[in-house]
Homo-oligomer: A and B are copies of this chain.
């Protein structure tokens, strides 16, 4: 699919991810932008931004969707071999720069994996 038109809504959403590389949950975006666009639009644009390799998505601990900016992704391939870290204290979620390698598993072929790490972030560590 991919983004075709740079509409007002697309620009607003892109802007949300321009600040830092912290991940944002879909529900947060829907609430934050409720006066500017419909939730359906949020879902659809995020979907396309992911297809375009500008964002990538993953599921938080409760199974809800989060999005974050991509660093080295393209239309054809998402480099999702990184983990996501959720701070149990402040709730902030971000991408870890560490690239994980999943060890070989006997008699199985590993295609993809999803790793969500939870703990305390640098700001919340005493």
Contacts and interface: CB of A to CB of B under 8 A. Distances in A.
Contacts of A100: 103
Interface in A36-94: 59, 61-65, 83, 85, 88
A68 to B, nearest CB: 16
Interface stretch (A1-9, A17-25, A107-115): A107-115
Q: Tell me what chain A mostly uses at the interface: helix, strand, loop, or mixed.
A: strand
Given A98-B103, A108-B125, A115 B113 contact: yes
When all copies of this chain in the complex are counted, the total is: 2
Nearest to A59: B63
28 contacts: A59-B59, A59-B61, A61-B114, A63-B65, A85-B105, A88-B111, A98-B105, A100-B103, A105-B117, A107-B121, A107-B125, A108-B120, A108-B122, A108-B125, A109-B119, A109-B125, A110-B117, A110-B119, A111-B119, A111-B120, A112-B117, A112-B118, A112-B119, A113-B115, A113-B116, A113-B118, A114-B116, A114-B118
